[in-house]
């Protein structure tokens, strides 16, 4: 079974209180896919606790994939722009 970063985020968030939020950060980033290709993004997302502390391992690039893993619409995710 291949590693799925979004499934790992899901497991982490299941252990967190429900008041976490997602912040979009408009800085370039990159990620390697399963084919070994490096994909570039002009922004990324990070999940924070209500007190503003970043949750470890909860940085990602594709909010649609997180919504799919969490089985919720993208619009229902608590997202703010930085």
For the chain, give every domain's residue range.
Answer: 5-81
Residue 47: partners with Cβ closer than 8 Å, 6 or more residues away = 9, 13, 20, 21, 22, 23, 54, 55, 58, 59
Angle at CA 3, nearest 5°, toward 71 and 15?
50
Those residues with Cβ within 8 angstroms of residue 44's Cβ, 6 or more apart along the chain or in another chain: 24, 25, 27, 29, 59, 60, 61
pLDDT at 3: 59
What is the number of residues in the chain?
82
pLDDT averaged per 10 residues in sequence order, the chain, 82 residues = 78 95 95 87 96 96 94 94 72
């Amino acid at each position: 079974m291949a590693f799925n970063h979004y499934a790992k985020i899901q497991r982490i968030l299941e252990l967190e209180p429900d008041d976490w939020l997602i912040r979009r950060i408009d800085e370039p980033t990159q990620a390697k896919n399963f084919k070994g290709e490096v994909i570039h993004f002009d922004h990324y997302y990070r999940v924070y606790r209500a007190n503003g502390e970043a949750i470890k391992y909860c940085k990602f690039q594709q909010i649609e994939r997180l919504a799919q893993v969490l089985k919720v619409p993208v619009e229902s995710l608590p997202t703010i722009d930085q």
